[in-house]
Amino acid sequence: MYHQIGMWDQKWVIGNWKMNGRLQNNNALMHRFRILPTAERVLIGLAAPTVYLLQLHNAMQIVLNNRILTCAQDVSRFPNNGAYTGEVSAEMLADTGTDIVLIGHSERSLYFGEKNEIQRRKMENVLNVGLIPLLCVGESLEEREAGKEHEVIAHQLSVLQGLDTKNIAVAYEPVWAIGTGKVATVEQIADMHAFIYKEILSLCGSDVKIRVLYGGSVKADNAADIFAVPYVDGALVGGASLSYDSFTAIISAAQNA
Ligand code: PEP
């Protein structure tokens, strides 16, 4: 039985493939998920490049013991249809079976200049079609060394204010820990996750449901320690999600957390 525990109480483990994957490799990987043991305490998702979302969504339908959610890595700031060459709207993502959409990953702001205003439009587009936005926030090394991490995260979280939803999902990903092998310490994670919870409650009201995921070099061998930190509701996993063995080890750490 899927989702015996509501998704806002499960640990979320979402793989972010970034710009990786090919039809044949994806199929081989998805085939292995068919027999993944039931992890009813975990919401599992995979964020593939847009061009592979439909393939992923179709492959998920034959997974036996778990429901694996289809996640998109980005969405257009423009809604619906229009003369926006190269863009993919939230409506299109919904049409092809997407459940969750990453918004504002630090690589989007680093390479494509995305800031709060664009992220806000994307959040609204995603909510308007009934999908779940997962807002990514995180400070740079410079900002942390200058002692500005709380100020920076508070500013990034301000896009949540006044959104028409009572379900808020955020991934805290210190930029200096993404793809670098450097993991934030348990103390740094605990401090920031508690701060993010507090900010969300004050921005969105005390009746919101919240998931705050940690992201940044989460691997099979550090996942259990990270999941044990208070206010850590899961992980956004980059590199380690490309390997079935390491990704499923992280899922099982979440299941046993
Ligand atoms: C990410 O891309 O969101 C991420 C956390 O990457 P990695 O796990 O590779 O650091």
How does DSSP assign 29-76, residue by residue?
HHHHHTTPPP-TTEEEEEEE-GGGHHHHHHHHTT-SS--EEEEES---
So where are the chain's domains?
A: 11-255
> How far does the centroid of ligand 1 lie from the alpha carbon of residue 215, in Å?
6
**What is the rounded distance in angstroms from the CA atom of residue 209 to the CA atom of residue 169?**
8
- Protein residues with CB under 6 Å of any ligand 1 atom: 16, 18, 173, 178-179, 215-218, 236-240
pLDDT of 58 above 70: yes
pLDDT of 233 above 50: yes
pLDDT of 3 above 90: no
**What is the rounded distance in angstroms from the CA atom of residue 42 to the CA atom of residue 11?**
5
**What is the rounded distance in angstroms from the CA atom of residue 251 to the CA atom of residue 135?**
21
- The per-residue pLDDT for range 185-195, each reduced to its tens digit, is 999 999 999 99
Is CATH 3.40.50.300 correct for 11-255? no
> Looking at ligand 1, which atom is closest to the CA of residue 178?
10
> How far does the centroid of ligand 1 lie from the alpha carbon of residue 22, in Å?
19
pLDDT of 2 above 70: no
173 assigned to active site: yes
**Could you give the count of Cα atoms lying within 13 Å of 37 in the half-sphere of its Cβ?**
11
Task: Give the pLDDT score at 209.
Answer: 97
Q: What are phi and psi of 132, to 5 degrees?
A: -105, 120
**Could you give the count of Cα atoms lying within 13 Å of 27 in the half-sphere of its Cβ?**
3
Cβ(234)–Cβ(211) below 8 Å? yes
* Percent of the chain's residues with pLDDT above 90: 89
- The per-residue pLDDT for range 206-229, each reduced to its tens digit, is 999 999 999 999 999 999 999 999
Burial class (CB in 10 A: 0-12, 13-18, 19+), 113: exposed
pLDDT of 87 above 90: yes
pLDDT, mean of residues 105-132: 97
pLDDT of 155 above 90: yes
Catalytic residue among 57, 105, 139, 199: 105
pLDDT of 84 above 90: yes
Record the tokens describing residue 90, joined without a space: 């939230």
* Residue 233 amino acid letter: D
Task: Give the pLDDT score at 246.
Answer: 97
